[in-house]
Amino acid sequence: MKETLLAVENLSCGYGKEIVLHDVSCRVSQGELIGIIGPNGCGKTTFLRSIAGILKPQNGDIFLGGKSLSRIHRKDLAQKIAVVSQFAEPILMTVSEYILLGRLPYYRKYQLFETKQDEAIVQRYMELTDLMGLKEMFMNRISGGERQLASIARALAQEPALLLLDEPTSHLDITHQVKILGLIKQLNTELSLTVIMVLHDLNLASEYASRLFLLEKGTIYKTGTPEEVLTYRTIEEVYKTTVIVEKSPLSGKPYIFLVTEEAKKSPMGSPMRPEKTGASLHHEREMRRDHD
């Protein structure tokens, strides 16, 4: 068992009187790649924000490396946890200036200029994220996918122990989705960087995460490997939507197909037979497999 990096104990938090997370407990070990999934409004982002130290717990506590977040100074916390938000703002700043901001937590008091070391680190992560060609470009002149890459490079320049990402690919095309999630996976395996990311897309979560937290109505409904969490039964219970779960032909990870209202009603001969919900289709397939 690897060392526990993050421990969340009986966490309840929210905005003012409105409690979003109820009594959540979980542990994340060093080197894991956690995907947080769940329906809209289930508290995914709130969960991430409380781990990032933005939202203070109303009850319970969060420990990073055995130390309560509330006892870690904000600059030290920024050296340990980096956050990539959903959308990097198109600001008037060059890509290299932007990434250099990631070194801010390491500036000493009254230090006004970056050191050679800061520069070398920025250079390294710019190369890693394939942004060298854009370093003098302004953030508001590059594409959304490139901005997101720059945002990740900035987070990496913080040299964190824990990287948090809030739906890093939600606005992007599949090229950038694959590029960014591939990069995160690579960082996770090569640098054994611990990653927690909120993902909307269940198939991406299944493909990339080593463990999933499925949230529902502010509690953790289920945790486990993608195979354990992404069963049609669980998904239908939480999302209240009919789905079919198959295995991805390449990775063998669960792959979720949506079943449209139309397909449920469609006439004989179409791939989905009528009056069959995902559940009955699964049942039938499992029966068939047993016969074989």
Partner 1 sequence: MINRKIGRWLIILFSIIVLLVCISFVSLWVGSVGIHLHEIFDILSKGEGTAEYSILFQIRLPRIILGFAVGGALSLAGAILQGMFRNPLVEPYTLGISGGASLGVCLNIIFKWHAVIGVIAFPLSGFVGSASVILFVYTLSLKKGILKTQGMLLMGVMISFISSSLVMLLMAISRSEDLHGIILWIMGSLEEPNMLLIKIAFWGSLLGLLLSYFYCLDLNALALGDEEAIHLGVNVEKTKRMLFLIASILTGFSVSVAGIIGFVGLIVPHFIRMFTGADHRILFISSFLAGACFLIFCDTLARTVIAPMELPVGVITGIIGGVVFIYALSKKQVML
Residue of 7, 19, 101, 137 interacting with partner 1 (CB under 8 A) = 101
Contact status: 20 vs partner 1 (CB under 8 A): no
Instruction: Return the range that interacts with partner 1 (CB under 8 A); candidates 90-98, 194-202, 222-230, 232-240.
Output: 90-98
Residue of 79, 170, 223, 234 interacting with partner 1 (CB under 8 A) = 79
Q: Using CA atoms, how far apart are residues 264 and 53, in angstroms rounded to an integer?
A: 45
- Cβ contacts of residue 256 below 8 Å, gap of 6+? 202, 203, 206, 230, 235, 243, 244, 245
Contact status: 81 vs partner 1 (CB under 8 A): yes
3-state secondary structure of 54: coil
Q: What are phi and psi of 118, to 5 degrees?
A: -55, -45
The distance of closest approach from Cβ of residue 92 to partner 1 in the complex, given in angstroms and rounded to an integer, is 5
Q: Using CA atoms, how far apart are residues 216 and 43, in angstroms rounded to an integer?
A: 8
Contact status: 140 vs partner 1 (CB under 8 A): yes
Contact status: 74 vs partner 1 (CB under 8 A): yes
**Residue 244 · residue 284 · CB < 8 Å:** no
Q: Using CA atoms, how far apart are residues 7 and 162, in angstroms rounded to an integer?
A: 12
Residue of 129, 158, 177, 206 interacting with partner 1 (CB under 8 A) = 158
Residue of 4, 14, 138, 223 interacting with partner 1 (CB under 8 A) = 138
- Cβ contacts of residue 284 below 8 Å, gap of 6+? 276
Residues 34-53 that bind partner 1 (CB under 8 A): 52-53
Q: What are phi and psi of 103, to 5 degrees?
A: -85, -5
Instruction: Return the range that interacts with partner 1 (CB under 8 A); candidates 115-123, 183-191, 192-200, 207-215.
Output: 115-123
Q: Which is nearer to partner 1, 138 or 221 (CB)?
A: 138
Q: Are strands 162-166 and 81-84 parallel, antiparallel or unpaired?
A: parallel
Please return the burial class of 276, using the count of CB atoms within 10 Å of its CB with bins 0-12, 13-18 and 19+.
middle
Residue of 7, 19, 104, 161 interacting with partner 1 (CB under 8 A) = 104
Residue of 51, 62, 83, 95 interacting with partner 1 (CB under 8 A) = 83
**Residue 142 · residue 151 · CB < 8 Å:** no
3-state secondary structure of 161: coil
Instruction: Return the range that interacts with partner 1 (CB under 8 A); candidates 4-12, 98-106, 251-259, 263-271.
Output: 98-106
Contact status: 93 vs partner 1 (CB under 8 A): yes
**Residue 164 · residue 145 · CB < 8 Å:** no
Q: Which is nearer to partner 1, 93 or 178 (CB)?
A: 93
Footprint of partner 1 (CB under 8 A): 52-54, 74-79, 81-83, 85, 89, 91-94, 96-98, 101-102, 104-105, 107, 110, 112-116, 119, 138, 140-141, 158
